[in-house]
Structure 1
Amino acid sequence: MMRISFRSLGPRLRPTTSLLQQKSSVCSTCQALANLHRQQLRQRQQNHPQQLAHDSQQRRRLQLYSANLQGDPVVPKNHNYTFNFSDSWTYKGNHGVSHWAELFSRNCAGKFQSPVDLSPMSMKKDSKLGDFTFTNFDDVTDVVQELWNNGHTAQVSYLSGDLRVNGGGLRSEYKVLQFHFHWGSDNTQGSEHTISGVPYPMEMHVVTYNVHYDNFTNALNYADGLAVLGVFFEVGNFGNCDFDTLTKALPSVKTPGSTILLDPVPLNLLLPFNTEKYYRYQGSLTSPPCNEAVTWTLFRDPVILSDDKLEAFRGLQALERDEITNAHLPMVDNFRPTQPLHGREIKTSF
């Protein structure tokens, strides 16, 4: 198992050339890797088709399992429950964000909810927040990724692979389960967390669980059960080819419930160049059931993404339907408003 620290990646994190030159180099590298990974995936499909085959019952269990990493939909106590979109929550309407506190009062009405505004008035530097160690973030040898439109967001689930996170002030090792996105109807809003009240157009969440608790279901019951890595995005002029595989696949999952297997993308390519500077606080899942079990890390530096790639996300359809036509509404503004800190302190590594 290969272990890497982004501090040791040298030129990738501390470029001596211009950002454009560096990006060109990274794009060439990621294109070569993508071609290799595509060939490896085809070979695995030919030699081991049973590893990628899922009947409808297995897929339904997988969707329920993956969905709960962020709480969509709420896990029922009845183990014979069959997944149904109509049973889920929404961002708008009678089951929208303004009703979560009453519909899911056990957790969504708690005092330590997320997201929050990252205000300098609430921040304090913590010297114990050191560098992260990301294991297998650069390796997709055994990774199978599935892109899923779950009606609320575009989510990439790991059907196989063993990506781990430790360091960064975390007291345990955490395993990656999925990552998903929140975005706005335009570039003036979209991120869940804000900086001094100002949002970014999109935010990515890498959801991990504490391996000490064996699985995410158990981890939901502990304050240190989950760790989420948050990445902000801002609009830039260059395309950022690291996201090509994902954004080109989005039209294939336009409708809620649809899925597609991806050519695996190394997760480290989707993170900011600098992962040493970040914000840290204790909070919750940002959607039902809103368990207060999350150690939040928000990287300070945003990732640049072109406007056309952001538009690809806005082309998805949401769970909500038009009251007159019954057509699915566009999946936009899928973010929860910031919640009160209630005395919580936001720590920084810088």
Structure 2
Amino acid sequence: MLLALALLQGLAPALAAAGPHGQERWAEGFPACGGRAQSPIDIETRWAQPEPALPPLQPYGAAAGTWELTNNGHTVVLALPRALTLHGLPGAFATAQLHLHWGGSEHLVDGRAAAGELHVVLFDAARFGGTSDALGHAGGLAVLAALLEPGPEPNAAYDNILRHLGSVRYAGQSTSIPAFDVRQLLPARLDLYYRYNGSLTTPPCSQGVIWSVFQEPVRVGSAQVGPLSLPAGPTGYGAGEVVAIVLGTGAGCAGLVLAVYFVAKRMR
């Protein structure tokens, strides 16, 4: 029997940064941020209910050619081809991008943060042409989240990304990197995950996002766990300074940068 778990709705968000640009003020400029299905959350395992009907999550598609890695001023984003798809979601979902969160995970499990978090962002390719089209539509976007914990040895799969950071040291820089098997970034057990309906984790906080947070953490080397050591670029933000989900929607970009900057400064 599969052990995927469905979470009850109404769980509290994991972050609640205070201050004039803190999370509790986001709804003033972005009404969706005041919704009842916001992410990230503190996953209280006592509220998780086994759901045998939830299938394992399995990425498909050949990794070929090169992919673009970009420093957008607050994180590094790896654009993924639409040809990479995922079986196990309610629809034909294709990948859009993935990005990393260091300095602590966004999601908590029973009040505890992991060392980092990987997000793989997908969209319902049967209904939408990309993430921008899917934004705000129920079930239009999905995110796979893998919690990262330090281990005794470097993780070779993650080094496929980290070894290229020197080529995107400043905001706005991009580089092409060899394609690799994204499946290697995920835990071994893809049938063990928490499923809930949530939102983008930063403004505009659009809801309707299908979240799958894997129960099994991914081990990465201790040196790989540290904050991304990219210096500040022309915008004044280093690529590892801000914890944010970046979908490249363009909506509210100025407010997003300002808001997540103060959230990250509070968390440091």
TM band (smaller chain): 0.7 to 0.9
Distance 1:237 1:157 in 2: 29
AA matched with 1:332:
E
Note the C-alpha offset of 1:117. 0.7
Distance 1:280 1:233 in 2: 18
TM-score with structure 1 length normalisation? 0.60
What's the % identity of the aligned pairs? 33
- Alignment partner of 1:163 out of 84, 100, 113: 84
Contact 1:164 1:175 survives alignment (8 Å): yes
Note the C-alpha offset of 1:127. 1.3
Determine the structure 2 residue equivalent to 1:8.
none
Unaligned runs of 5+ in 2: 1-16, 245-259, 264-268
Contact 1:152 1:318 survives alignment (8 Å): no
Determine the structure 2 residue equivalent to 1:104.
30
Contact 1:230 1:298 survives alignment (8 Å): yes
TM-score with structure 2 length normalisation? 0.77
Q: Does 1:241 align with 2:156?
A: yes
- Alignment partner of 1:149 out of 52, 71, 78: 71
Unaligned runs of 5+ in 1: 1-90, 185-189, 322-326, 338-350
- Of Structure 1 and Structure 2, which has the larger fraction of its residues in strand? 2
Q: How many residues align?
A: 229
Determine the structure 1 residue equivalent to 2:193.
278
Q: Deviation per CA, 1:267-312, whole angstroms, max 9, x where unpaired? A: 011111111111000000112211102100011111111122223x
Q: Deviation per CA, 1:111-160, whole angstroms, max 9, x where unpaired? A: 11100011023211111112223211xx212x4311111122221012x4
Note the C-alpha offset of 1:214. 2.4
| Pairs within 5 Å for 1:45-56 | none
Determine the structure 1 residue equivalent to 2:93.
174
Distance 1:274 1:127 in 2: 15
Q: Deviation per CA, 1:22-74, whole angstroms, max 9, x where unpaired? A: xxxxxxxxxxxxxxxxxxxxxxxxxxxxxxxxxxxxxxxxxxxxxxxxxxxxx
Aligned alpha-carbon RMSD (Å): 2.5
Distance 2:144 2:213 in 1: 6
Determine the structure 2 residue equivalent to 1:316.
230
| Pairs within 5 Å for 1:30-41 | none
- Of Structure 1 and Structure 2, which has the larger fraction of its residues in helix? 1
- Alignment partner of 1:140 out of 50, 63, 74: 63
Note the C-alpha offset of 1:314. 2.3
AA matched with 2:100:
F
AA matched with 1:266:
D
Distance 1:220 1:126 in 2: 27
Contact 2:164 2:177 survives alignment (8 Å): yes
- When residues 328 and 132 of structure 1 are mapped into structure 2, their CA distance, relative to the original with a 3 A threshold, is closer
Determine the structure 2 residue equivalent to 1:300.
215
Distance 1:210 1:93 in 2: 36
Q: Does 1:192 align with 2:106?
A: yes
